[in-house]
Structure 1
């Protein structure tokens, strides 16, 4: 064998093997390097905090003529605001070195409502809260519609108004109509609107907040906007020349006597039929807290799903609610469903009531706080922020000269609030002072009942009279013998589907809010007629009642999120070629996981080429030298 030939062949074979190894190594190195680049790219994603910049005008000395743009520059520095001057003013494209590119732009919000002008045109008031947020214009954002219903004119806007989290109905009307066109009084419990666009409500008239055709149970400052809401501010005229009326002789045992009114009981079969129809309507939808109360007191079964949902909500919110009335309403609902609100998912909602800020929502918090404590005879410990005596005293002190109450404690009494307070105080009329107060309030309702023009107010009055032990089916207008009676009037709002609508002239379709109140009123009337107690008497069930709930260890924790396993790669065996379908894997990964390897391979390929070229040169030199040695 030719040793030199064998050596040359061996050398060439060795070089081929070495080049193959280097090629594989280079490709592997390239793939690792690509992954590193992809991870670095994920770290460079925009943080959420970089997408929002807020400026609280109250923290700055706002001068006349200051714009939102001026305050932004003052807050973060002119060097951190990039903008272009255009036909319509300054167009902000960069804030704090974050530039809006592609589909993104810097949106401007005033009091969490999308501004109607540019930042350099909006004149700031000292109580404004400004927000600049980077958003994608191709993604639909939350919005609401607004209408202002005056005496003879309805101002409905042709476009919707965008908003961000935390915006209230008060924020909406203030931004849309303008600071100078909104009149309001400021109380500890919130802002009370007295005038819009020059139309001022003077006693006994008032502006009412209506949400999606339903009278709101909270003030405009407390109602948080929800996507696609229809927010209406409605001017309510009270035609009575003397709404307050004559408080009457508070020493009378019962100021509304049979001689003054002619009460006539509604046929029990008619009431039962109306309750059954309303039950069908309620059960066809989502069961709420008030629905649970009416179902329980009507002798119907409260679906187990209601209590399950309450427990899930408590777990998600860690036992916390935004409003005190939420604690009170949920407490009543839990009792109706057979649960124990003093120990549900480890939380004591009753304690949260008697140690809560009851006056933050006006009289509503105190009224329903008292109802919640009385519902099952809950005791308050020494040192509680609110005991029954304090609640009762607070309500008595808030009664005005007309004998009625207003939700904000002002002198302008209203029938709804007065009826709710009567309902709360009625169980305590064994106290002389409370009895006198309730009698004066009943006289107030008697004198002003003719003003009732909607199902919700009629329902509250029926509940109040039934709880106070007074025949609810009284004429709306005692001076008119042909006047419709309360319960008959309430039934006139019921539709064939079993639901109720709010008010004539505002749509006749059934809605959950109106149905809820009317349903409770019919049940309260039935309890009164049958001598079976009051609507909100909901004693604790004996023993631990689960009402269809799963066992404790079977309840799914909504907070815990199980990791999602990616599916197995799909192997394609066609033509004896095995290909891994990575599409399914990438689509199944949760948001926040590692980015796909999309970094460029250009650098890696250049490195591989350079290495191969270098090896080739070295190999050429070695082979050349060996050839020269062979010739020698």
Structure 2
């Protein structure tokens, strides 16, 4: 009886639970094009093949994974966290393809229908697996946007779509509706990009938009950045400058922190170039001119990273950003090669990538090149017209099924793009703090009381005193700063010269007087001897 009961129990258990143990993993529809964003906020677009990285993004969109983060290294994108789990020092997310450890990274892993992609948290020091794997399969392969028929309802782009006017006012209305009560847009990264969008001067920012801008300005002006990357610092300084906030007066001294990351050759991570590209924007607007040794080093480093195909990291987005960064430095031949790379990567339907992220940065690059959107027209649609196609009826960018953060991000990118306005044209300029009078140069009339600090003045105050405008081109402002500082030094030297002129005159007459005095004494003492000598000589 006991043996029969045991056998029946095993059979029942097997029928109930065994299928669960061998249940197929969840599946995704895999597109051949996708855009992902790294931890520095830089989008990366992939197209032409069915890749593991697009499968991961598809899994996020379908809710199979909740979140993931990707860190950009010289060898490519690296999975930093998955479902909110960040590996410890000796751990990493191991990637497997059809239950075999992958020999390439996510961005290079080509997958097919019914393939299985697995991520397993692993401790490499002990070669042990930690927790359950994250796994999904490929249900079907989707055609790319350019291969499909036109989409309706403003959800995307297609070959035969008519271009649509982008509404800046509606885009601002969308951002206003997404703003938090404290004035932010959630994460500091999203808040910074929104600040840059609100920094665009336009009449299409209505009263509600202006009020949202002031709330955003109050928030950005008081938040302190504790950034581990140069890109985070650069983006935040850009946000401050876009809203007219002096970054030298911001909490956390972000300009000083960014400059401190310069190692004599480049800024931030030596294996990356995106942090150097983005550092040029805020630094050009904080008193560092194209003649500054640090800026020259940064530009040289950026130029050294351009590939033979004209791109930076084979990325449409980063190449468009580099064009904007290099334009003030008159690197025409380099920029022309980058422009040709963008031209080659504009597909036959006229779009760049599969969504609005790449398109927005390309439109800003087109503006930096001094060209019109019409000059880049393909299949009857301009890049500006495609921007309108991606805009939804609520004013936001990207399909409504996308998460709100993605739509806020894309919309913040799109507003400057609608005007083809590069970042350098949006950011306001602020001069370096200048030491107006040093302690050694103080005269009794202007000397500070004992124990007080020397008088410090800023570029803006000097400009105001001399009747010049403080809002000038960053390169001109640096030159003005030098001229004004030299003029101030000349004035101080002139004052010092006037104070010492009496002393110089006294010294001029003192020396001849002393010579005459010593001559008279010499004659008086030697007269008796000289008279005898001369008397004998002429007898």
Name the TM-score class by shorter chain.
Answer: 0.3 to 0.5
Compare the two structures and name the one with the higher helix fraction: 2
Q: Which has the larger radius of gyration?
A: 1
TM-score of the superposed pair, with normalisation by structure 2? 0.47
